[in-house]
Structure 1
Amino acid sequence: MKKLRKILRILLFGFVGLCFVSLVWDKADRTLAVREKVFDQESVQYPIRKSDVTLYTDGQEFYDRLLDDIANAKQYIHISFFSIADDTVSHRFEELLKKKSKEGVEVYYAVDRLGGVLLKEQDKQALLKAGVHFTYYNKLDFPYFFSSLEHRNHKRISVIDGTIGYAGGFNIGKKYLGKNEKLGSWRDYHLRIQGEGVQDLEQEFELDWVKNDRETVWKTHTSTEKGTTELRFKAYSGKDLAYDYANLFHQAQKSITILSPYFIPNNKVIWHALIDAEKRGVEINILWSPESDAPLVKQAAYPYIRKALKHGMHVYGYRDGILHGKVLVIDERVAMVGSANLDSRSIHLNKELNCYIYDTAFIKQVLNKKVHEDFQRSQQIHSPYVNNLPLQEKLKERLAKLVEYYL
């Protein structure tokens, strides 16, 4: 018994010591990273372009079209996702990339290092053996281990033969097709682009690839043909996102519609702009997903939902599974579809890519129809929902508050 107590004491002291060392290291590497501006990167705003745009909100439809475009590629495929699963859907995707590479198509494929944690080493080696150029984005780095861990590449970019591009919220895996029994149906927003806007997706992919792999990306040309919808891509890296959203909110005259799976806007600039808009008589509707594939994000949203309700904003909770789309609509004259959530990670840390759309016809006839469907599948949230929480939820909310910056 004495021996057991001794072992337990050693383990306890070891655990406490490890925690202390980790905290000291964490503080030191973050301080040094900020001082040396290791992760500082300016946002990239591309010109306004005219392209033909198709919106996908159903995972199966998106996946079928993406795989069909990849299957028809003749010259090159440049593709990156935040995360990849280890299931039949992801394996089918990887098999197609290998097949196209063996056919002589130049395939470049990247996934975020943390988001790609489920990619098996044997599957990665099979891709490389088939001739696929593969890399992880934002690899963990020393001595900035904790800082590199928190800075993720959250973009999704696909470019095929320089004529077709994709950007939005879907990743690769069966849960995005609504085939995960635990999570249920999955709703997302993803754009398919044809026309001159593809060249900006291509440039953004190249910037990320070279930064992470140092290898030159092979390509021939990208489309300069004009389409019908005016849009602009902007890439973020923990800067400017809050100010761009605030500027849009300040411009609103009638309505602001926000769709975000996570509602954790820990940013004074955004809140000042929203509250100012509400005081001007702008109707603000916020749609958020109580169900999520991430822990504590529901509880982290409670304080911000209370704040929104207190200031006269309308908040809705999605009821039909998981809503993962990231959308803004301002007065039906400008909209955003992208990868950035309305949370601390996207505002302060992640690399994100948003598409701003300046086409009233597209917003009214295409985007708003899907947004309206999602509000129809939702329930309005009132104060009792967040003020009369069970004890377990209150405890989770307190825990979530401690770590919300990293959720």
Structure 2
Amino acid sequence: MVVLLLVIIILALIMLDEKLGEKMYQSKRMQTKYPRRHSDFSFFMSGPHLFSDYFQTIREANHHIHVLFYIVKTDEISQQFFDLLKQKVQEGVEVRLLVDWVGGFELPKKMIRSLEESGIQFAYAHKPTFPFFLYKLNRRNHRKITVIDGRIGYIGGFNIGKEYIDQDPDFGEWRDYHLKMTGEGVNDLQAQFCHDWKEATKEQIKGKKYFPILPKGAISHQLIATNGHSLEQKFIRFIHQAKQEIIIGTPYFIPGHDVMKALLEALQRGVSVTILVPLKADHPFVKEAAFPYFYRLLKEGAHIYQFYQGFYHAKIMVIDGECCDIGTANFDKRSFFLNSEIHCYIYDQKFVQQVKNAIQQDLARSERLTLDFWRHRTIWQRGKESISTLISGWL
């Protein structure tokens, strides 16, 4: 009886922490909508190709390197990354490294001390504090931003770790989408990094060397940063605009009631809906949380594919071949209502077709989910789905 009472008290305290924390932070939720810009982009879908280019760009830095990742691991590729940053500091380049507190939790204090002693400015983003510790712990900075000399930027789904360069046998090939940007839009990436850095350290970064005058590129785009506000509505508006086709690629598909309603309405007005997710999961219950949504979509004629050639981690939405969103947000409640994310909406038919070609390659290495497969799930699978539905807001 005493144990049961303690469990009830603990659960009540957790719920109170969550509710009061959410109420306190409601006024701080916002989106930052940067102007329409024109930049040039390179598109990466392979970790080895991305990091070969990424490390070379870092080697060529002359003034500063600004890096924000959600996850930085402690393995061989991470050590190469740290060694490269240390080398650049020795060459007189300013280096700021911002890592989410939860995503970088495995980084040893000794390693962080080594980075700081070398001259790298290191900080944790979203470090939880009291009061409302649990609520703050649940709010992650999920952005991945790099800016080199204020002139070259990177944004997308890759983090730093061996799995992202296909060296983890548990995952095999890691499929993700990432952008390299040059042109006027880099100023907006820089502005967002500086905002997140100031939030974590109180240091304000200013000056022409950080924000040089940049030329216009060829591709129209817009960056939008969210922190638990407006993303759901943005996705709903995006879906409502579709006249012919919606393609969604995501590692986690937990859309919630309102986004699901928009997708069902799109299917009912004759829009083709294709969803690409991984076959294997990298976290408990996230795969099962998607299946109740899949059933309703399949009944309305959606095409759902599970990528089997490794792990699919890309975050992509394509509307009618006219526009695509590549960024850091998953198609789930955590990205909608908790995480800090950043998106790049690209309005260029030629570039969008390049992205669609990449998606077609990934669909060719995927198996299609059918209603018959869904109906023949095991009791164990159905039980996991029931549990995952209850905790879907925290997955």
With normalisation by structure 2, the TM-score equals: 0.96
Residue of structure 2 aligned with 1:256, choices 241, 246, 250:
246
Residue of structure 2 aligned with 1:361, choices 350, 375, 386:
350
TM-superposed deviation, 1:39: 7.1
Residue of structure 1 aligned with 2:303, choices 314, 318, 335:
314
| Structure-to-structure mapping, 1:67-86, within 5 angstroms | 67-86=55-74
Q: Secondary structure at the match of 1:128?
A: helix
Q: Secondary structure at the match of 2:164?
A: helix
Residue of structure 2 aligned with 1:118, choices 106, 113, 131:
106
Distance 1:18 1:204 in 2: 44
TM-superposed deviation, 1:16: 5.0
1:165–1:198 Cα contact (<8 Å) kept = yes
Distance 1:369 1:256 in 2: 15
Partner of 2:46: 58
TM-superposed deviation, 1:388: 1.3
1:163–1:223 Cα contact (<8 Å) kept = no
Partner of 1:41: 29
1:183–1:292 Cα contact (<8 Å) kept = no
1:33–1:39 Cα contact (<8 Å) kept = no
Bigger drift between 240-249 and 172-181 goes to: 240-249
Count of aligned positions: 393
Are residue 185 (structure 1) and residue 169 (structure 2) matched? no
Change (3 A) 1:18 1:94: farther
| Structure-to-structure mapping, 1:275-314, within 5 angstroms | 275-314=264-303
Distance 2:201 2:240 in 1: 40
Q: What are the Cα deviations for residues 83-116 of structure 1, in whole angstroms up to 9, with x where unaligned?
A: 0111001111011111111221110001100000
Partner of 2:334: 345
Distance 2:282 2:6 in 1: 30
Distance 1:133 1:152 in 2: 20
TM-superposed deviation, 1:292: 2.3
Partner of 2:195: 207
Q: Secondary structure at the match of 1:315?
A: strand
Q: Secondary structure at the match of 1:25?
A: helix
Partner of 1:8: none
Partner of 1:323: 312
Change (3 A) 1:223 1:57: farther
Are residue 23 (structure 1) and residue 11 (structure 2) matched? yes
Q: Secondary structure at the match of 1:332?
A: coil
Q: What are the Cα deviations for residues 27-68 of structure 1, in whole angstroms up to 9, with x where unaligned?
A: 222222233236732100101110010010000111111111
Q: What are the Cα deviations for residues 223-267 of structure 1, in whole angstroms up to 9, with x where unaligned?
A: 521111111000011111111111111111111111111111113
Distance 1:39 1:396 in 2: 35
Distance 1:222 1:318 in 2: 42
Distance 2:8 2:19 in 1: 17
Residue of structure 2 aligned with 1:127, choices 87, 110, 115:
115
Unaligned runs of 5+ in 1: 1-11
Partner of 1:238: 228
| Structure-to-structure mapping, 1:137-152, within 5 angstroms | 137-152=125-140
TM-superposed deviation, 1:18: 5.4
Partner of 1:4: none
Distance 2:212 2:270 in 1: 44
Q: Secondary structure at the match of 2:388?
A: helix
Q: Secondary structure at the match of 2:256?
A: coil
TM-superposed deviation, 1:24: 2.6
- Identical pairs, percent: 36
The AA in structure 2 aligned to 1:391 is I
Q: Secondary structure at the match of 1:134?
A: strand
2:225–2:342 Cα contact (<8 Å) kept = yes
1:239–1:347 Cα contact (<8 Å) kept = yes
Unaligned runs of 5+ in 2: none
TM-superposed deviation, 1:272: 2.3
TM-superposed deviation, 1:17: 5.9
